[in-house]
Structure 1
Amino acid sequence: MTALSTPTVRAPHAHDILFEPYQLGNLRLKNRFAMAPMGPLGFSDADGGWNARGIEYYVARAKGGTGLIITGVTFCENPGEDVPRPSVASSVVNPGHFIRTSNEMTERIHAYDAKILLQISPGFGRVIMPNFIKPGNLPIAPSPIPHRWTDLTCREMTVEEIHTTVKNAGKGALNGKRGGFDGVQIHAVHEGYLLDQFAISMFNQRTDSYGGSLENRLRFAREVLEEIKTTCGDDYPVTLRFSPKSMIKDWRVGAMPGEVFEEKGRDMEEGIEAARLLTDWGYDAIDLDIGSYDAWYWSHPPMYQAKGLYMPYSKQVKDALPDVPVILAGRMDDGDRAVRAITEGFADMISLGRPLLADPEWVNKLRAGRTETIRPCISCQEGCMGRIQAYAALNCAVNPEAGREADHKIRPAIRPKKVMVIGAGMAGLEAARVLAERGHKPEVFEAGDRLGGVVVAGGMPSFKEDDHDLIAWYAGQLEELQVPVHLSTAVTEQMIGSTDADHVILATGSAPRRLELGDALPVTEAIDALLDPSSLIGKRVAIVGGGLTGCELALHLKELDDTTQVTIVEAGDDVLSMSGPLCHANHDMLHDLVTYKGVEVVANAFAQRTTAAGLEVAVQDARLTVEADAVVTAIGYQSSARLVDAVNASRIPFHVLGDARKVSNIMYAIWDAFEVATEL
């Protein structure tokens, strides 16, 4: 008989604590990771149940190793809000259908030893989206206060409507329990949603038992909890999405990071007391973030916010209430930062939202020590929040399969082809990756000496570091897939004419638009300035163009040396007025940062020429000089598809992708490439 070999003892892993089991109420979780709740737009059917897309979406994250899945918001049907279906799932519209489709999902999630909470919303209140308001109706709120998005004044929610909503929350939770959910999360005393509006004195001006003292303002949230515990049992876990601080300077005005201001919403002192009351009453855990719809770039942090931005606030809550389980969100997509949060008492669990959109296998890859294979979230919010706002669908800019796992899969090629990929920007890289995964034989040719195209320059500011991480991820993927990559190789017409490729992908990107301003001062294009800003540091710099590139360059220069005096010369009424698509949170924060960082803006101005004194601009019928030592042009890009005629002449089938087809953003470069490469 062969002797048994001695088991290999695995060396301690730096992230092991994140994979220790954790007890949340009566739930034993296999690790410390939760999937953050994100608006599940596009994942339900007309009867309020889960469709195939929704089921596959959540199952993919459980398969990827996440210990606790928290669904995005579902409705319990507030009688004051007539939200159209199928926007998101509802646990009370058609209970039998909801229970059936929920069991189909939860059974599969449980197969991966993951648990799942159903997030239930009592309502939006003053932050309800305008397209959800029927003509002639008014949005509800605790009191007659301004609607967040329009000039409407909300009507006061009646006590009867409150009581009906509380009852519906209990019914919805019970249907969730019958559907296999392991608990519920209440949405939410956070971000300025309806329960949060009742909890904050700025919004709640009632004089009945739901207004006045903090206990009264939290009564709605308490009654929802008590109804669920009565209906589902005291041991059925109920967690709460909660923001201990609102970051509100005024109606629709948020505070900047580090800014000293008077909090008009909930401050930390009241936030800690509210957390104490809510958990004393029976909430089993706090799922913590910071912000509100009036300071939206806190609740949905863009790349301009720091990584781990909620950690200081979470630490205050844990120090004051050490026995309260806290789930921490907020750009926590780094294993070392997550370990610190657990070991130093910032939180008990780590919540990942957008990182799990970008890579559903994030947790498994961290556990295996293969962090270099994690596809990074770049915090652009174009595929998630941007798509929700524009198309009522949750997706991801860097992962075209997110939210479409059921019907947008990479399948093996029937007949492998040799594909010449010209250009190694985002479109070329994604096309090569997907083609190789399918079994095709792509070969990449790049005229420059680096992968990434214009994203290399765009990723130079510290707040855009994830753009460079995305390029590095593609480099690693192509190496693993053994895709030949030829750098510093400009494809010629002769090369196209002599290739034996079966197909050509033309992804030659875009080139900056140029502006002739004379030579009285140094004039640099934005890409060159981003790649090497050394000649601009500490100078007076005029940036022509207040789009995304111009504004980010201005912040980058101020970040490198705050003594640099930056003036943006913008032809439109305001900066970012003529930019491409930008999620509200990203747009608003970048716009506000320009002013906050001391960047001067000259609007409705057209650059004319440089002079010894600076940049001469035309403003209406007048001319003025913007004092400057140097000028940078950031007036957009134009497609660079010079090889189209050569490819046409070769008679080889081809596609033009990315900026070479139409100048847009990272998301559409990747999405277009994925679409074509999966069907080739």
Structure 2
Amino acid sequence: MTPESPYPHVFRPITIGTMRLRNRVMVPPHGSAVGDLWGTEREAARHIAYWEARAKDGASWIDGVRGRVRNPVVPGFEPSGYGAGTLGNYREPNYVERVRELVTVLHRAGAAVTSQLTVIGGVPQAPSTRTSSPMQAARPHVMRRDEIAGYVEEYRYSAARARDAGLDGIELHLNHDDMLEWFLSPLTNDRDDEYGGSLENRARFAVEALSAVREEIGSGTTLGVRFTMREEAPGGYTAEDGLVIAQYLESTGLIDFLHAVIGSPWGDPSYIQPQYYRSAEWAGLAGALRAAVSLPVVYTGRVTSVAVAEEVLASGGADVVGMARAYIAEPRLLTKALDGREDEVRPCVGGNDCISRQYAERLPFGCAVNPHASHEVDGPWPKAARPRALLVVGGGPAGMELAGLAAESGHAVELWEAADELGGQLRTATKAPSFDRYADYLRWQVRRLDRAGVRVRLGHRATADEVAGHGADVVAVATGAVPHRPPIDGVDGPHVLDIRDVLDGAATGKRVLVIARDDHLPPLGLADHLSERGREVTLVYAVAQAGALLGRYILGGILARLHKRGVAFRQLEEVVAIHPDGVRVRNVYSGATEDLHGFDTIVLACGGDSDASLYGELRERLPEVHLLGDAYAPRRLVAATRQAYALAGLLAE
């Protein structure tokens, strides 16, 4: 760092416990999605390579070792969902070996390495019969004193294994529905024994676990807690209560730092806050906490860039900042900031596909904007064995990503786009509220294509004859999709618009009904756009849940916004006819119909139909032509970029 560095607070060293950190950036846990450290050799190598890339970039603290403590249940009981794995990572037979390998690699790269100790509440154990969410219907098992004592010993065992693996520190998880939070919270703990009632009693389990860990690791290993600064549900503890809890934990003398976060697993905000919230929105709460204690404070929550990290640190919001998704999107985050190349930093859009893919859709880990994420084990992006001339037709997300990757591997790439700007339908989506980071991403892609030497031709709609006569060795057709117009009586009425029309500026009446046939963000983003402009909006879904593919890590934020503006939802109803002032709906199960009246405008948010006509004309005329993105099958950004990555990899062989 030079004296003129614009980020003097970020790059200032600090000591926390026994850890001497070279800067103020910590990467919070998320590696369980990347690859199983205790799985096959290949899975472990993938996991280690992912973290090594971030440590080599300069991240000073990798809080990356997943730490599920064993969950003992009676024989024959089968926990489900997130609690289905009961063994716990520290009980894995190769735990010490694999973690020591990770620690060795990350120490060599200059980073400290810590592990969390986590036990999720209510799966099935809990302090009482109260649960943390009205959406949690499964009743828990109320823990006895001997079971609490057994867990304390399991914390001790886990700490010993972590110590033997050479970790620099341990972080106890007292947040985001962890069992220790359930004991701390008056919402979920109504016990009348020594583990309930007063703060001292509610904190007893956490203090006993901390004491056991500290006894095991001694003073040579750092120990801290990650805790929720306030609970979002009514009846939970407030921000003021959170300060008192933090002060009480500090008074025990057992911990070296406090890791301050916000959110619940299901609410507004969720604990992995999506695009609907401001950058570092809760850093002020962390600053109040930092003023109330003498321990170092880590703040995590929508720290979206190095510049935001600098603002948090400079304002006294924290001593260290946690950056997870920004580091998924851009593995050279700090290097580019130090070199003054911030315009090359690939921005995180906050769409949470990185977590929703795995936990909501059971798909492999993936980042919407960075298809390289989790492929670090494969080494640098390869140079093409046979550089060729590639023509990409279509400048939406798939076409742009393919063009960039292909040019970066050494191909001569030309990109034709029918519109006057690149971006395809994603550019239209950026006009909805909270989609500004997607606009940042498109601007980054334009700069990237320019740096890679891609020849871009705008405002040019390609014909099959022109493409066939161009002479490119390879052609990729990424011509996107056209709006889907469902076969509904009255769909061609003058008061019926498409979502794209509305976002592009078409006027609507005061009362708007949206026909929602999309399981992701578009209908909800449209409702956000319209309600922000004072429209009265009703969404009609044929499915039981709006945004079924969003998962709980993003859905709560947008539903809360829409509810506050009075947006109405009707579910399990298919629109079967459109009238001049409304629609007829039919229940998808009973078949009963109802007419809804009083609407000025009907808007279709029904996705798209692939536009593969050009590909159909070319596939028999050219030796090598590929189809990708929405032109193959309309999906969202993460699908487009991952498909482009796969195709670019094939072209490099």
- The equivalent residue for 1:255 is none
Q: 2:136 & 2:291 partners in 1: Cα distance?
A: 40
2:438 is the alignment partner of 1:467:
yes
In the other structure, the counterpart of 2:369 is 398
- Same amino acid, percent of matched pairs: 27
Match of 1:372 among 339, 343, 352: 343
For residue 201 of structure 2, what is the aligned residue in structure 1? 216
1:295-317 residue CA offsets vs partner (Å, 9 max, x unmatched): 27431212122321222321321
The whole-number CA distance in structure 1 between the counterparts of 2:85 and 2:648 is 31
Moved more, 476-485 or 152-161: 152-161
Amino acid at match of 2:163: K
Q: State the alpha-carbon separation in 1 of the partners of residues 397 and 538 from structure 2.
A: 31
Specify the code of the residue in structure 1 equivalent to 2:340: G
Rounded to whole Å, the distance in 2 between the matches of 1:454 and 1:392 is 24
Equivalent positions of 1:138-177 (< 5 A) are 139-146=124-131, 151-177=137-163
- Map Cα deviations across residues 266-288 of structure 1 (whole Å, 9 max, x no partner): 21122111111112212211111
Distance 1:520 1:407 in 2: 54
The CA deviation at 1:163 is 2.3
- In the alignment, what sits opposite 2:71? 78
Could you say if the C-alpha distance between residues 72 and 532 of structure 1 is closer, same or farther in structure 2, counting changes exceeding 3 Å? farther
Tell whether the 8 Å contact from 2:266 to 2:556 is kept in structure 1 after alignment: no
Match of 2:5 among 13, 16, 26: 13
| Contact in 2 for aligned 1:40/1:393 (Cα 8 Å) | no
Matches within 5 A, 1:169-318: 169-186=155-172, 188-248=173-233, 263-281=234-252, 282-295=254-267, 297-318=269-290
- CA deviation vs aligned residue, 1:399-447 (integer Å, no higher than 9, x gap): 2232332248622211112111111111111111111121122211111
Cα distance in 1, alignment partners of residues 241 and 381 from structure 2: 50
In the alignment, what sits opposite 1:601?
569
Q: Which runs of 5+ in 2 are unaligned?
A: none
CA distance in structure 1 between the partners assigned to 2:85 and 2:415 by the alignment:
43
Indicate how the Cα distance of structure 1 residues 623 and 677 shifts in structure 2: closer, same or farther if over 3 A, else same: same
Q: 3-state DSSP class of the match of 2:211?
A: helix
What pairs up with 1:34-49 in 2 under 5 angstroms? 34-38=26-30, 40-41=32-33, 42-46=35-39
In structure 2, what residue type is equivalent to 1:307?
S
Distance change in 2, residues 1:305/1:592 (3 Å): same
Aligned equivalents of 2:31 and 2:148: distance in 1? 23
- Corresponding residue number in structure 2 for 1:60: 53
Q: Counterpart of 2:482 in 1: which secondary structure?
A: strand
C-alpha separation between the residues in 2 aligned to 1:222 and 1:628?
59
Partner of 1:26: 18
How far apart, in 2, do the equivalents of 1:387 and 1:397 lie?
13
Which residue is equivalent to 2:456? Answer: 485
Picking from 566, 569, 572, the partner of 2:542 is: 572
Name 1:101's counterpart in structure 2. Answer: 98
With normalisation by structure 2, the TM-score equals 0.90
Q: 1:273 to 1:11 in 2, by over 3 A?
A: closer
Q: Which amino acid aligns with 1:438?
A: S
**SS class of match (2:224):** strand
Task: Give 1:601 deviation, angstroms.
Answer: 3.3
User: In the alignment, what sits opposite 1:435?
Assistant: 406
For the 8 Å contact 2:132–2:182, the answer to whether it is kept is no
For the 8 Å contact 1:47–1:86, the answer to whether it is kept is no
Q: Which residue of 1 aligns with 2:501?
A: 528
Check 1:361–1:92 CA distance in 2 against 1; reply closer, same or farther (3 A cut).
same
Query: 1:518 Cα deviation (Å)?
Result: 7.0
CA distance in 2, matches of 1:445, 1:87: 53
The Cα shift of 1:622 comes to 5.3
1:588 equivalent in alignment to 2:556: yes
Amino acid at match of 1:576: A
Q: Per-residue deviation at 1:638?
A: 0.7
Q: What code does the residue aligned with 1:169 have? A: Y
Matched with 2:121 is 125
Alignment RMSD, CA only? 2.8
Contact 1:45 1:89 in 2 (8 A): no
The separation in 2 between residues aligned to 1:223 and 1:72, in whole angstroms, is 22
Offset, 1:93:
3.2
Measured after TM superposition, the shift of residue 632 of structure 1 is 2.6
Cα distance in 2 for residues equivalent to 1:224 and 1:369: 45
Task: Decide which moves more: 601-610 or 82-91.
Answer: 82-91
- SS of the equivalent of 2:434 reads helix
Relative distance call for 1:68 and 1:552 in structure 2 (3 A) is same
